[in-house]
Amino acid sequence: MSVKFTETVLRDGQQSLIATRLKIEDILPIITKLDQAGYYALEVWGGATFDSCMRFLNEDPWERLRKIRKEVKQTKLQMLLRGQNILGYKHYPDDVLERFIKKSVENGIDVIRIFDALNDIRNMEKAVEFTKKYGAEAQGSIVYTTSPIHNSETFVKKAKILAERGIESLCIKDMAGLLTPFKAFDLVKKLKSEINLPVEIHSHNTAGFAFMTYLKAVEAGVDIIDTAISAFSSGTAQPTTETMAAVLKNSEFDASLNAKILEEVGEYFREIRNKYQDYLGSYEVDPRIITNQLPGGMLSNLRNQLREQNQLDRYEEILEEIPKVRKDLGYPPLVTPTSQIVGTQAVFNIVTGKRYGFVSKEFKNYLRGMYGRPPGEIKPELIEKTINKEEVITNRPADNLEPAYEKAAAEIKNISSREEDILSYILFPEVAEKFLKEHR
């Protein structure tokens, strides 16, 4: 069976290697070529691209999506959605989630990859339901991680529940590049025998495994692989599109991508990359990720932030502290927003010299259960020391939230009444308000 390719250069490739700074003016000249290359899908939206558009690029993320959709005629457009967190860093009520998904589909999205940082399926159910309601493909994700409490069986169990909830495809989301080749083979085999759905694999080459991992996943029957065009691939990004296409060529898995077009696209992005030297992350393989587990995009951002604060010399200490904080929190997978919560706390612990002397509001909310059910037990003394035990919730966090759309619409009625703008404002109030005041 031929294996399909999803191209990530416009979302995760550039998010992982140039801190999400790729401008629409550098996307549009090459988008038709990408559309003609023979991909199954182009990942173009979601993740950190949404807020980066307004925060750093002075672009409207919705307008960006519409411009891409206008040019892409034969390839599906895909986005990454953080379940009930949508594209923000906290949970939002169902009325906001539904409107956001509806608008994403109306503006051009075909496939929505839905994940929850804690693999708490309660936080994904509504996103799956709304995605299907508005006619896009609902791709459920299992966030891959390693710990004493995670194994193939735990992931397969989650996948089966997602299949029961109506997902139309499944993604193994290995955001830190921790999935080793033989474990991938084992996991894909088990998934394919238990669920009758297309399975996609998404990994990063941070630890150096991902090319081999993809090959073993393909041998085990994976249907789709996520790759990035050479200029924005490997290191903390995905395996290289041209390389994987060449690996599978003339085999039973050959995807028949257009090699000449891929060459042109690669050449284009090599030129473009020169404009973004200030943000360029690491192409190095870093096996330390096996211990600290930080996802690709976060590593480059952490280095940038520490550099700006003249604390780059503490980078190694912080990397050592991250797994300790993660253990204390019950081994959450490290992906937005838990990677930020754990990473930020590790920074506080090292820079202040006192563990948990200072904790963020998000850290307290995690302890309260406001992000969902942690995979393992939180260290009891951490809860006692930091919050009131009575504050801990055990139900689906979004059930405790009041509808928010109408209130937000009233708050910015003098700036904009456009539904997309109101949604941008709900997710990123300060950033969006500033942006909308300048542009509306």
Q: What is the pLDDT of residues 329-349, one digit of tens each?
A: 999 998 888 988 999 999 999
Q: Note the pLDDT of residue 24.
A: 98
Q: Note the pLDDT of residue 297.
A: 60
Class of domain 289-398 (CATH, top level):
mainly alpha
- Assign 378 a pLDDT band (cuts: 50, 70, 90): very high
Q: In the chain, what are the domain boundaries? A: 4-279, 289-398, 408-439
Task: Please answer whether residues 42 and 77 qualify as being in contact, where contact means their C-beta atoms are separated by less than 8 angstroms.
Answer: yes
Query: Who's near 64: CB < 8 A, 6+ residues apart?
Result: 24, 27, 45, 49, 53
Burial class (CB in 10 A: 0-12, 13-18, 19+), 284: exposed
Cα–Cα dist 200/140, whole Å: 10
**Is 248's pLDDT higher than 80?**
yes
- Assign 302 a pLDDT band (cuts: 50, 70, 90): confident
Evaluate the CA torsion angle 61, 65, 66, 68 in order and state its sign: positive
Closest CA to 99 of 439, 440, 435, 418: 418
Q: Note the pLDDT of residue 389.
A: 86
- Structure confidence by residue, pLDDT tens digits, 411-435: 999 999 999 999 999 999 999 999 9
- Assign 275 a pLDDT band (cuts: 50, 70, 90): very high
- Assign 295 a pLDDT band (cuts: 50, 70, 90): low
Cα–Cα dist 79/11, whole Å: 8
**Is 371's pLDDT higher than 70?**
yes
Q: Using omega within 30 degrees of 0 as the cis cutoff, is the peptide bond preceding 374 cis?
A: no
Closest CA to 20 of 293, 304, 262: 304
Evaluate the CA torsion angle 179, 185, 191, 197 in order and state its sign: positive
- Asked which of 3-17, 218-232, 378-392 is least confident by mean pLDDT, the reply is 378-392
Class of domain 4-279 (CATH, top level):
alpha beta
Task: Please answer whether residues 201 and 217 qualify as being in contact, where contact means their C-beta atoms are separated by less than 8 angstroms.
Answer: yes
Residue type, 404: A
**Is 178's pLDDT higher than 70?**
yes
- Assign 288 a pLDDT band (cuts: 50, 70, 90): confident
**Is 365's pLDDT higher than 70?**
yes
**Is 296's pLDDT higher than 70?**
no
Query: Who's near 56: CB < 8 A, 6+ residues apart?
Result: 20, 21
**Is 374's pLDDT higher than 70?**
yes
- Structure confidence by residue, pLDDT tens digits, 57-101: 999 999 999 999 999 999 999 999 999 999 998 999 999 999 999
Q: Note the pLDDT of residue 309.
A: 84
Domains 4-279 and 289-398 equal at CATH topology level: no
Cα–Cα dist 112/131, whole Å: 7
Q: Note the pLDDT of residue 438.
A: 94
Closest CA to 421 of 126, 107, 129, 124: 107
**Is 210's pLDDT higher than 90?**
yes
C-alpha 180: how far from chain center: 20
End-to-end CA distance of the chain: 50
- Assign 286 a pLDDT band (cuts: 50, 70, 90): confident
**Is 254's pLDDT higher than 70?**
yes
- Assign 38 a pLDDT band (cuts: 50, 70, 90): very high
Q: Note the pLDDT of residue 369.
A: 95
Q: Note the pLDDT of residue 284.
A: 85
pTM (2 decimals)? Answer: 0.94
